Amino acid sequence: MIEKNNNWPQFRVGCGYDVHKLAADRKLILCGVEIPYESGLLGHSDADVALHALMDALLGAAGLGDIGRHFPDTDMKFKDADSMLLLRQVVGLLQKHGWQINNADVTIMAQRPKLAPYIEQMAANIAREMRIERSAVNVKATTTEKLGFVGRGEGMASEAVVSIIRG
């Protein structure tokens, strides 16, 4: 049996990954920012690939499953859902379990469009919803040098790493 030392804070790390296909007649929304582009991400919700990876990282760090468990694509109440509102629910769930978010690092993989003009607003949106300092959130974008489905412009992917503390 493992003994728990209640005098020490608990520190955990989580990682998340998500992919969505690009499709015509959809808005492109990343970290709550609507980005002008010829297509958007296809999904049951708003398909915000970056926030989906972030939510999975948060839930994983806290040992609370994943977004499919909490927001299943079989439930119509999540059809076209705003992922910023879903992030707010995930943050509330972590707080309910005594967790405080320490920091987040999000990488968005997209060949096009160029995301640099939107990065600051993306990070500010995440910091606001997670109730942490802006300096504790990093968002970055990269291409895949025209390799794979991202490089061919078929979709986008995102990874996120977070740390949380309790105690």
Annotated binding residue 56: no
Annotated binding residue 142: yes
Annotated binding residue 97: no
Annotated binding residue 46: no
Annotated binding residue 149: yes
How deeply is 49 buried, as exposed, middle or buried, from its count of CB atoms within 10 A (0-12, 13-18, 19+)?
buried
In the chain, DSSP finds a helix count (H) and a strand count (E) of: 5, 7
Annotated binding residue 68: yes
Annotated binding residue 70: no
Annotated binding residue 44: yes
Annotated binding residue 39: no
Annotated binding residue 20: yes
Annotated binding residue 67: yes
Annotated binding residue 9: no
Identity (one letter) of the amino acid at 12? R
Annotated binding residue 107: no
CA 60 – CA 45 distance, rounded (Å): 20
* DSSP 8-class letter at 48: -
* Alpha helices by DSSP H, the chain: 49-61, 67-70, 83-96, 119-130, 148-151
Annotated binding residue 144: yes
CA 34 – CA 28 distance, rounded (Å): 6
Query: Which residue numbers belong to the known binding site?
Result: 18-20, 44-45, 52, 66-68, 71-75, 142-145, 149, 152
Query: Which residue numbers belong to the known binding site for a divalent metal cation?
Result: 18, 20, 52
